[in-house]
Amino acid sequence: MNILPALLAAALLTTGCDFFRRLAGRPDSQSLAQKAEMIRVQKEAQEAARIARLDSLERVRAHRADSAAVMDSLQQGKERLLGPARFGGLAVADLPSRYYIIVGAFSVWDNASRFCQQMTDKGYPAEIIAFRNGYHAVGVCRTDDVVEIYRSLKELKRQPFCPANIWILSKD
């Protein structure tokens, strides 16, 4: 019977605790290390997602503040923001974007078409927006973002070819 304790001691020295853990149905050191690594990776992913959410919320907050500042400027009359109802409404069912910079309005379609081509040639892709009152407006820089349309308006006003009386059309 003296051999049994010696064999147990030898098994413990050569295989370590993992031998007994496996016998007992418990995870061994390799399984525990894998589990610890998996937990570490999950925590890193959760932290990255948390940081991304905070960044996203900050971008939304900043955009809202910028939008409010632009709307304040527009309401104070520094720039004109007009809706289609002012011109009897749109001749089409709907516009694809919310905002346009109107660089000209013409009662004759050919004049609007010519001016539309001139604006496109100058690097501002233009489109003709027909109103029910018979006018055809030439719109550029279409977007759904009020901050972006305001920046585009400021940039366009600095161009030497830009008409003095440009304004923003809001389909709302």
Residues 115 and 66 in one domain: no
- Cα–Cα dist 22/93, whole Å: 73
The residue from 78, 110, 134 where one domain ends is 78
Do 93 and 107 sit in the same domain of this protein?
Answer: yes
The residue among 61, 78, 95 that closes a domain is: 78
Q: 């690097």: which residue's tokens? A: 123
Q: How far, CA to CA in Å, does 146 sit from each of 8, 62, 92, 135, 169? A: 78, 13, 22, 24, 11
Give Cβ neighbours of residue 93 (< 8 Å, ≥ 6 apart).
none
Q: Please identify which residue in the block is written with the tokens 């910079």.
A: 101
Domain boundary among 13, 44, 78: 78
Q: What is the CATH number of the domain that holds 124?
A: 3.30.70.1070
Residue 54 has pLDDT above 60, yes or no: yes
User: Per-residue confidence at 81, pLDDT binned at 50, 70, 90?
Assistant: confident
Query: What's the rounded Cα separation, in Å, for the pair 52 and 57?
Result: 9
Domain that holds residue 15: 1-78
Whether residues 61 and 85 fall in one domain:
no
Place 77 in a pLDDT band, splitting at 50, 70 and 90.
low
How does pLDDT run across 95-147, given as a tens digit for each residue? 889 899 999 999 999 999 999 999 999 999 999 998 888 899 999 999 998 88
Prediction pTM value: 0.63
Max mean pLDDT among 24-28, 57-61, 151-155 falls in 151-155
Domain shared by 26 and 90, yes or no: no
